[in-house]
Amino acid sequence: MRALIPALVLAFGFLSGATSVASAQDIARGERLFNACLRCHDVGKDAKNRIGPHLNGVFDRKAATIEGATYSKAMKRAGADGLRWTIDTLNIYIQNPKNLVSGTRMNYRGMRKEKDRSDLLAYLRQFSVSPANIPEASASLLQQDAPSLHEETYLDGDAEYGEYLSGECTSCHQSSGADKGIPSITGWPQPDFVIALRAYKKGHRPHPVMQMIAKRLSEEEIAALAAYFKELH
Amino acid sequence: MRLNRRRFLGTAAASAALLSSPIALGQKRPRVVIIGGGAGGATAARYLAKDSDGAIEVILIEPSRTYYTCFFSNLAIGGFQPMSKLAHSYGTLASDYGVTVVHDWASAVDREKKVVRLAGGDTISYDRLVLSPGIDFVKGAIEGWDVTAQTKMPHAYKAGTQTQLLKAQVEAMPEGGTFAMVAPPNPYRCPPGPYERISMVAHVLKQRNPTAKILILDPKEKFSKQGLFMEGWENHYAGMVDWLTDEFTGGVQRVDPNTMEIVLEDETIKADVVNVIPAMQAGSIAQQAGLTNEAGWCPIVPATLQSRMDENIHVLGDATQNGDMPKSGYSANSQAKAAAMAIRHALTGSRAFKPRFSNTCWSLISPDNGVKVGASYVATDEKIAKVDGFISQNNEDDALRKQTYEESLGWYAGMTADMFG
């Protein structure tokens, strides 16, 4: 399989003709970066599920659909909601897995440098059936959206305002923290809470009710909710 | 959860006082009286008590000791939920939140004196009144049917014995028999409700009585989630369900509960089960209190849910004419929180925030096949106005539909916890 890589890179370069196409060096660098993933993820010929699922053909795959792989409840939920692995969603996920799946089993702090993610994905795309058909990550997602999920403006939320706003959450989410059918949102670290709502607001996460609710929450209101729910156990 | 012995004793004492003598006027704490313990009233009681932390005396008047939620009652008809799962009591509101729960009928509101009269003879004064009376049927809406006919032709639009009766009738239908629904005109409680019910009845008949037929006689030209229901009926109950609008039938002229006949313009249909869901209006106490308009609903000030007729009264839920929000338990729950905040602000000077409203209605079409529709709303000067919305799509995959159904079960648990504590 690895022997095929140069040929595929050439084909891809020819087809896309874009200046943003990954070079062979980028891909080689991506392969080295993948060493950080190897303990849990296998890729290439005869790749097997390890702690996490194998990554052959990950592009355009619905989340949590590899038979025999172990997924968190949260990842299964995201998959059923419609989370599909594309260059954009993978980019956001690798940047910080909690961007897309708060309760993910993937215990990884995230790859913060855009260039690193770009190279890693250039490497991984070689293991999909038709890498040439995978579009490049959109510049806005690589450079702006994903990192902005992490702006640290969540620290001084108005918890009393959050308590009022929480009424819109507790029509569905239980203040007791019960987690059946609808996830628990109590006692979360503030950054996780903020990141999750921002991701719904931007449409990175697929759930229509949450997108609708988050869309009209301001940064101040998200911070207020995070401050309130953090203290609710 | 705030279980507090002092508060519990206080509540018990208050209840005893209430039973033994009329409640004195001029009490120190401001008092809010709530009529109706459904999604609007129970939520308002809980939020007023919880958030005012004892600064407001909250009295909830609700005749039933056991409350059956209307939402999810179709699932009981379909056999997906036992009736017992729909039953709730007010014990936690009393013991943990300090709400005084009075199980009696509110028979009249004297707006001049700011007093509610109970059928049992007591009167209760209020500083603010919250009215969440739900719906009543318009008298004479369908010739030949009134509430005395509900044991033969059930409406099952208030949950409990009516739900059980309709379920039993469906299960006892003769082989190849006919189930007919007389569907309501707009506006009515729970817009997808009649059509979810059709789905549940079809599910039961498909198992027990697959040659049976289902007729919907509908005064409307379209209905909520129509595309999703139609798709589901085609996929799961092919050939079983006929939806006939007035354009086709000329409309239901009258029904005869004794012969189980429905008279249309040019034809009379005899059915084995007739589910009559008549036109609706605000619950009768709202009519009695003079809070309804010519259409039979209560106009409200969008931001605070105050009656347009009386600023000391807030009306919630199905009884309101609010603008864009549908008549649903979720809407009533959402409105109750905005009203509770406005009341606390008015009576105790607590912080007031900009109200926000939302609603989602889930429906079950067949096993593990749930769909939903929802929207968010803001208060303008004129009405509660829709700002954004979504609806499930046709041809969604099985995993998503299953997840949507499971989500609806989670919502039920969350909603009832939000109402009853």
Give the per-residue pLDDT at A134.
75
Q: Which of A119, A148, A177 is the last residue of a domain?
A: A148
Max Cα–Cα distance, chain B, nearest Å: 68
CATH code linked to domain B5-136+281-352: 3.50.50.60
Residue B23: pLDDT band with limits 50, 70, 90 = very low
CB distance from A212 to chain B under 8 Å? yes
- CB-nearest to B400 from A80, A176, A182 is A80
Residue B88: φ, ψ to 5°: -140, 155
| Among A97, A127, A148, residue at a domain's last position | A148
Query: How many degrees, rounded to 5, is the angle at CA A162 between CA A96 and CA B46?
Result: 130
Residue that wins the pLDDT comparison between A206 and B9: A206
Q: Which residue shows structure tokens 């007919």?
A: B180
A153, part of any domain: no
Which of B53, B418, B419, B420 best tests the A interface by mutation, with the highest count of A CBs <10 A? B418
- Taking the domains of chain B in order of start, what are their residue ranges? 5-136+281-352, 140-278
Does residue A13 carry a pLDDT above 50? no
Work out how many domains chain A is built from and give that number: 2
Let me know if residue A132 belongs to a domain: yes
- Given A98, A119, A148, the domain boundary residue is A148
Task: Tell me, yes or no, if B122 comes closer than 8 A to chain A by beta carbon.
Answer: no
Q: What is the mean pLDDT of chain B?
A: 94
Question: What does the pLDDT read at residue B174?
Answer: 98
Is residue A108 included in any domain, yes or no? yes
The minimum CA-CA distance between A232 and chain B, rounded to whole Å, is 10
Residue B168's contacts (CB-CB under 8 Å, 6 or more residues apart) are: none
Q: How far is B219 from chain A (nearest CA, A)?
A: 31
Q: What is the pLDDT of residues A176-223, one digit of tens each?
A: 999 989 999 999 999 999 999 999 999 999 999 999 999 999 999 999
Q: Do B51 and A170 touch (CB under 8 A)?
A: no
Is 60 exceeded by the pLDDT of residue B256? yes
Please give the structure tokens belonging to residue A112.
Answer: 């913060």
A5 or B100, which is more confident? B100
Output the pLDDT for position B8. 37
Q: What integer is the mean pLDDT of B90-114?
A: 98
Say yes or no: A60 and A121 in one domain.
yes
Asked if residue A154 belongs to a domain, the reply is no
CA distance B144 to chain A (A): 40
Chain segment B279-327, per-residue pLDDT in tens: 999 999 999 999 999 999 999 999 999 999 999 999 999 999 999 999 9
From chain A, the residues in CB contact with B387 under 8 A are 216
What does the pLDDT look like over B390-411, one tens digit per residue?
Answer: 999 999 999 999 999 999 999 9
pLDDT band at A130 (very low <50, low <70, confident <90, very high): confident
Same fold, B5-136+281-352 and B140-278: yes
% of chain B beyond a pLDDT of 70 = 94
Which residue range forms the structural domain that includes residue A76?
Answer: 2-148
Q: State the Cα–Cα distance between residues B269 and B180, nearest whole angstrom.
A: 9
The architecture CATH gives domain B140-278: 3-Layer(bba) Sandwich (3.50)
Which tens digit of pLDDT belongs to each residue from B372-393? Answer: 999 999 999 999 999 999 999 9
Rounded to whole angstroms, the Cα distance separating A56 from B145 reads 65
CATH of the domain at A51: 1.10.760.10
